[in-house]
Amino acid sequence: MIKAGVVGWPIHHSRSPLIHGYWLEQHGIAGSYEKLAIAPEEFAGFVRSLHENEYAGCNVTIPHKEAAFSLADNVSEEARAVGAANLLWLQDGRVMASNTDTFGFVESLDKVSPGWRDVSGHRLVLGAGGAARAIIYGLLQSGPSPVVLTNRTRQRAQEIAQSLAADGERIRVIDWDERQSAIAGAGLVVNTTSLGMSGNPALEIELSYAPPDCVVADIVYSPLETSLLSQARNRELRAVDGLWMLLYQAVPSFEAWFGVRPEVTRELRQMVEDDLIAERD
């Protein structure tokens, strides 16, 4: 029996057990994936006793991602760039850490909107939290296009620009109030803020000046179609919702613990969609 799980505080909202449970069943693997509510003061002890408690590893979510990065014996390039880890696994008794958000985002665009890398124009990133850092790192790896970054708190955007593109060449920070003007000429627009999420205000931005081949992505998945994405669809721009990223970021984790690279199937996507709708109703 191979054991894994997702560690957070709180943890009840996580969809990860649904996703990994689906793959375990699909592949006939004798394994388990549970939600693990671990308080911050207990997290280091939990990581140290992964082996003793017979875990192959775990996913890590808020508020433990930075601690997971610091506690690991070995960290991937992605985790180092982001300064946070969401995946831990054991290898020869060592705790390995990675950050699968970068893969999840880039893979979701590659799969849902193939050809996005070749769309000319800058990549406009809205928001500068942890998710933005992982996404920007992925964008810088995915091609030569410059990133234009804007955040309500400009300082956070500047910190990301300094740490991910120290030469200042590839990331240009602009004021939050200037976001509208950066739509013109954008090859990709990504919302990484919590604006548009159920219970939050919508992201105020007009896509009318977006180039016709511009791809619009949102990391929000509840609701599945944010007002940003419905605007994109109405303008016949390609739109990629946040559920795709959530599904694809789970792939490397499953492979690290269970040794099989799983597929994001239509059936899996539908199952998680149904679960989101059931919660909303």
Cβ–Cβ < 8 Å for 125, 150: yes
* CB 127, min distance to ligand ATR, A: 3
160 binds ligand ATR (CB under 6 A): no
Q: How many amino acids of this chain bind ligand ATR (CB under 6 A)?
A: 15
Name beta bridge partners: 90: 95
State the Cα angle at 106 between 102 and 112, rounded to 5°.
145
Which residues are the active-site residues? 65
Determine if 147 is a binding residue for ligand ATR (CB under 6 A).
no
Near ligand ATR by CB under 6 A: residue from 59, 151, 231, 249: 151
Q: Smallest gap, in angstroms, from Cβ of residue 206 to ligand ATR?
A: 16
Binding ligand ATR (rule: CB under 6 A), the pick from 194, 207, 211, 225 is 194
Q: Is 59 in the site for ligand ATR (CB under 6 A)?
A: no
Q: Where are the alpha helices (DSSP H) in the chain?
A: 16-26, 40-48, 65-71, 77-82, 101-112, 130-141, 154-164, 227-234, 242-248, 251-258, 266-280
Interactions with ligand ATR, residue window 233-272 (CB under 6 A): none
Q: For residues 213 and 116, what is the distance between their CA atoms, to the nearest angstrom?
A: 9
78 within 8 A of 102, measured Cβ to Cβ: yes
Q: How far is the CB of 228 from ligand ATR (least distance, A)?
A: 13
User: Is 60 among the residues that bind ligand ATR (CB under 6 A)?
Assistant: no
150 touching ligand ATR, by CB under 6 A: no
Tell me the residue nearest to ligand ATR as measured from the CB.
129
Instruction: Identify the helix (H) or strand (E) that includes residue 220.
Output: none
Of 126 and 240, CB closest to ligand ATR: 126
Question: With binding defined as CB under 6 A, does residue 130 bind ligand ATR?
Answer: yes
Nearer to ligand ATR, 152 or 269 (CB): 152
Least distance from ligand ATR to the Cβ atom of residue 108, Å: 16
Decide: is 80 part of the binding site for ligand ATR (CB under 6 A): no
Phi, psi for 271 (deg, rounded to 5) = -60, -45
Structure tokens at 205: 């931005």
Q: Which residue bears the tokens 């690991």?
A: 72
Beta carbon of residue 244, minimum distance to ligand ATR (angstroms, whole number): 17
CB nearer to ligand ATR: give 201 or 259: 201
Binding status of residue 127 toward ligand ATR by CB under 6 A = yes
- Rg of the chain, C-alpha, whole Å: 19
Output 130 or 242, the one with its CB closest to ligand ATR: 130
Give the shortest CB-129-to-ligand ATR separation in angstroms.
Answer: 2
Partners of 74 in the beta sheet? 96
Q: CA 109, 111, 117 angle in degrees (round to 5)?
A: 45
